[in-house]
Amino acid sequence: MKFSEFYAPTKRDAAKQDSVNAYLLAKAGYISQVAAGVYALLPLAVRSLQKIEQVVREEMNSIGGNEVVFSALQPKSTWEKSGRWDDENFRQIVYIDQDADMTFGATHEEPMSIAVKEKVQSYRDLPVILYQFQTKFRKELRAKSGLLRGREFRMKDLYSFHPDNESHHEFYESAATAYLRVFKRLGLDAYRVKASGGVFSKEYSDEFQVICPTGEDEILVNHKTKTGFNKEVEADISVAEKDKLERVKAIEVGNIFHLGSKYSDAFDLKYLNKDGVRKSIVMGSYGIGITRLLGTISELFHDQNGLVLPKQVAPFQAYLIDLTNSKDGVGLYNTLTKAGFEVLFDDREMPAGAKFVEADLIGIPVRLVLSPKTKAENAVELKERSSDTSTVVLLKEVSKVLEKIFS
């Protein structure tokens, strides 16, 4: 992509924000604030979020997930059957259209149950694993911290339907393992933490937390086992066990819940077992905040010059700058693009220093600079964003070097 054709409204100076991610993502041209807790996602953010979603999609598919897209708007009748329409704890987080008797679905246990009921009749039809990527809307009373706590956000929610607790728990653990793979692939070191089920479940839930000094959650963790407890359930921890834990700040990036048969029973979603007896279906709920992941990564991966995004998440792989008066930069751009690399070619008429500043700010993993000196050597200067040093690479070797970096 040529920068002259790409919309990335970077800023020399950005307004002070209440979080690192909001400040850096706004300054680097990834997001634009619409209101408190509401952000427009600009081209750089969209490219990064698509990569995050693809990692999540691959891991959800690997455990038998089927991708769907449900409507965000849901009728009152759907929520009445489960009792949540009149649940004050739940109503305080959802947007409701009183005239139309509809609400934005902050979560989709009920709609998914209705859809599964259309198909499932016997044990042969189970399990069913459905997931989606969707923009969610919630009345967040404490909208703050940029993409970490918003009123409108991108989310992956998955729902599992199993014939009994045994098969549910087996899948639940496979989902937990898949979650850890997701976060590892995105460059995050996640801990599995016991927490309250909140308004979604009376049982413990499992949160996936990433240690971060600016995180708003307080957790107690065992670094050896990568497990722990959210502060909200601290009273349930024995003194002996608590002594083995460290109290740290963290950001929640995902959670999974045991739902039992609460929602399936509400919609009379049952099945016939092998003996012809009608049985309740056991459900689970599994969420990952997609935009929250981009915010978390931005909180963790940056320096004084801007973002330092992991290669799995960065919107482009390489940032190309041509300081010569020739068309060699265009040739290198075409060669790398043809080879399958994602290159942002800064072809704008502006000082070289400004281009270097923007390359660092945006956080693309590799910067390539073609200068009169390197041109004379049929080479280009290559610098990784996470490194303080650069190397000179022959033009004919650039593709091989990039393949090694991104393998």
Measured in degrees and rounded to the nearest 5, phi and psi for residue 275 equal -95, 5
Find out whether the peptide bond into 75 is cis, omega within 30 degrees of 0. no
Q: What is the residue whose two structure tokens read 């083995």?
A: 244
Which among 372, 375, 358 is positioned nearest to 319, based on CA atoms? 358
Domain with CATH 3.30.930.10 in the chain: 3-303
Q: What percent of the chain is modeled with pLDDT above 90? A: 85
Query: Which of these ranges, 245-259, 284-298, 323-337, has the smallest mean pLDDT?
Result: 323-337
Within 10 Å of residue 261's Cβ, how many Cβ atoms?
16
Average pLDDT over residues 79-106: 88
Tokens of 333: 């751009």
pLDDT grade for 325, boundaries at 50, 70 and 90: confident
pLDDT grade for 2, boundaries at 50, 70 and 90: very high
In this model, does residue 148 exceed pLDDT 90? yes
Tokens of 249: 């700040």
Q: DSSP labels for 175-217?
A: HHHHHHHHHHHTT--EEEEEE--TTT-SS-EEEEEEE-TT-SE
Give pLDDT tens digits for 113-128. Answer: 999 999 999 999 999 9
Do residues 199 and 92 lie in contact, with contact meaning Cβ atoms separated by under 8 Å? no
CATH code of domain 316-405: 3.40.50.800
Q: Judge residue 103's burial from the number of C-beta atoms within 10 Å of its C-beta, 0-12 exposed, 13-18 middle, 19 or more buried.
A: buried
**How far is the first Cα of the chain from the last one, in angstroms, to the nearest whole number?**
21
Q: Is the dihedral of CA 5, 6, 12, 15 positive or negative?
A: positive
Query: CA 217, CA 302: separation in Å to the nearest integer?
Result: 21
Spatial neighbors of 114 by CB under 8 A, at least 6 apart, are 78, 267
Give pLDDT tens digits for 381-396. Answer: 999 999 999 999 999 9
Identify the pLDDT of residue 307: 98
> What per-residue string of b and e applies to 206-239 under the rule 16 or more CB within 10 Å gives b?
bbbbbbbeebebebbbeeeeeebbbeebeeebee
Do residues 231 and 220 lie in contact, with contact meaning Cβ atoms separated by under 8 Å? yes
Tokens of 338: 């043809």
Identify the pLDDT of residue 142: 77
Do residues 195 and 233 lie in contact, with contact meaning Cβ atoms separated by under 8 Å? yes
Identify the pLDDT of residue 192: 97
In this model, does residue 197 exceed pLDDT 80? no
Q: What percent of the chain is modeled with pLDDT above 70? A: 99
Domain with CATH 3.40.50.800 in the chain: 316-405
Architecture field, domain 3-303: 2-Layer Sandwich (3.30)
Give pLDDT tens digits for 249-276. Answer: 999 999 999 999 999 999 999 999 999 9
Q: Mean pLDDT score of the chain, rounded to an integer?
A: 94
Query: CA 347, CA 192: separation in Å to the nearest integer?
Result: 45
